[in-house]
Chains A and B, each alone.
Chain A
Amino acid sequence: MIKVENLYKSFDGIPVLKDISVTYEAGKCNMIIGKSGSGKTVLLKNLIGLLEPDSGEIWYGDRRLSLMDYSEKKQLRQQIGILFQGSALFDFATVLENVMFPMDFFTDWSKAQKIERARFCLNRVNVINSDGKYPNELSGGMQKRVGIARAIALNPSYLFCDEPNSGLDPYTSILIDQLISDLTKEYNMTTVMNTHDMNSILEIGDRIGFISEGTLLWEGDKNSILGTDCRELKDFVCANTLARNIIEGKH
Chain B
Amino acid sequence: MVTGVEKYVTLPTKLYGMVRNFVESIGRYFLFLKQVFRKPEKWKIFLKQFVLETDKLILSSIIIVGVISIFIGGVLVIQTASNLENPLIDRMYVGYMVRESLVLEFCSTMIALILAGKMGSNISSEIGSMRITEQIDAMDMMGVNSAGFLVLPKVVAATVLSPFLMLLSFVLGILGGYIVVSATGIIATAQYVTGLKFCYNGFYVFYSCFKMSLFCFLISSISAFNGYYAKGGSLGVGRSSTKSIISTSILILMFDLIVTQLMLY
User: Interface readout for A94-111 with B: 1 if CB under 8 Å, 0 if not?
Assistant: 000000011011100000
Interchain CB contact under 8 A, B144 and A88: no
Interchain CB contact under 8 A, B133 and A86: yes
Interchain CB contact under 8 A, A88 and B45: no
CA A135 to CA B72, docked complex, whole Å: 43
Interchain CB contact under 8 A, B141 and A104: no
Interchain CB contact under 8 A, A84 and B137: yes
Interchain CB contact under 8 A, A77 and B143: yes
Interchain CB contact under 8 A, A104 and B45: yes
From known contacts A88-B133, A88-B134, infer whether A105 and B41 are also in contact, taking CB-CB under 8 Å. Answer: yes
List residues of B (91-148) whose CB comes within 8 Å of A's CBs: 129-130, 133-135, 137-144
Interchain CB contact under 8 A, A105 and B144: yes
From known contacts A77-B142, A78-B142, infer whether A104 and B133 are also in contact, taking CB-CB under 8 Å. Answer: no
Indicate the member of B45, B135, B140 with the most A CB atoms within 10 Å: B135
User: Interface readout for B223-235 with A: 1 if CB under 8 Å, 0 if not?
Assistant: 0000000000000
State which of B41, B130, B141 has its C-beta within 8 Å of the C-beta of A77: B141
Interchain CB contact under 8 A, B140 and A101: no
Interchain CB contact under 8 A, A50 and B140: yes
From known contacts A91-B130, A104-B42, A105-B45, infer whether A50 and B137 are also in contact, taking CB-CB under 8 Å. Answer: yes
Cβ of A82 within 8 Å of any chain B Cβ, yes or no, is: yes
Interchain CB contact under 8 A, B140 and A88: no
Interchain CB contact under 8 A, B135 and A106: no
CA A73 to CA B137, docked complex, whole Å: 15
User: Interface readout for A75-89 with B: 1 if CB under 8 Å, 0 if not?
Assistant: 111101010111011
- Within the complex, the shortest CB–CB distance from A4 to chain B, in Å, comes to 18
Indicate the member of A86, A88, A90 with the most B CB atoms within 10 Å: A88
Interchain CB contact under 8 A, A105 and B143: yes
CA A80 to CA B134, docked complex, whole Å: 16
Cβ of A250 within 8 Å of any chain B Cβ, yes or no, is: no
From known contacts A105-B42, A105-B45, infer whether A90 and B143 are also in contact, taking CB-CB under 8 Å. Answer: no
From known contacts A104-B42, A104-B45, A105-B41, infer whether A88 and B142 are also in contact, taking CB-CB under 8 Å. Answer: no
Interchain CB contact under 8 A, A84 and B142: no
**Could you say which residues of chain A place their CB within 8 Å of the CB of B138?**
82, 84, 88, 90
Interchain CB contact under 8 A, B142 and A102: yes
State which of A48, A75, A85, A91 has its C-beta within 8 Å of the C-beta of B141: A48
Residue of A nearest to B142 (CB): A102
Cβ of A74 within 8 Å of any chain B Cβ, yes or no, is: yes
Residue of A nearest to B137 (CB): A50
Residue of B nearest to A98 (CB): B138
CA A91 to CA B139, docked complex, whole Å: 13
Indicate the member of B41, B134, B138, B144 with the most A CB atoms within 10 Å: B138
Interchain CB contact under 8 A, A84 and B134: yes
List residues of B (150-198) whose CB comes within 8 Å of A's CBs: none
Interchain CB contact under 8 A, B135 and A91: yes
CA A48 to CA B138, docked complex, whole Å: 11
**Could you say which residues of chain A place their CB within 8 Å of the CB of B144?**
101-102, 105
Complex A-B, nearest 6 residue pairs according to Cβ-Cβ distance, in ascending order: A77-B143, A88-B138, A88-B134, A74-B143, A84-B134, A78-B143
Q: List 25 A-B contacts (CB under 8 A).
A: A48-B141, A49-B141, A50-B137, A50-B140, A73-B143, A75-B143, A78-B142, A82-B138, A82-B142, A84-B138, A86-B134, A88-B135, A89-B135, A90-B130, A90-B135, A90-B138, A91-B130, A91-B135, A102-B142, A105-B41, A105-B42, A105-B45, A105-B142, A105-B143, A105-B144
Taking Cβ atoms with an 8 Å cutoff, the residues of A that contact B are: 48-50, 73-78, 80, 82, 84-86, 88-91, 101-102, 104-106
Known contacts A77-B142, A86-B134, A101-B142; 13 further A-B pairs (Cβ under 8 A)? A50-B140, A74-B143, A82-B138, A82-B141, A84-B134, A85-B134, A88-B133, A88-B137, A90-B138, A91-B129, A104-B42, A105-B41, A106-B143
Taking Cβ atoms with an 8 Å cutoff, the residues of B that contact A are: 41-42, 45, 129-130, 133-135, 137-144
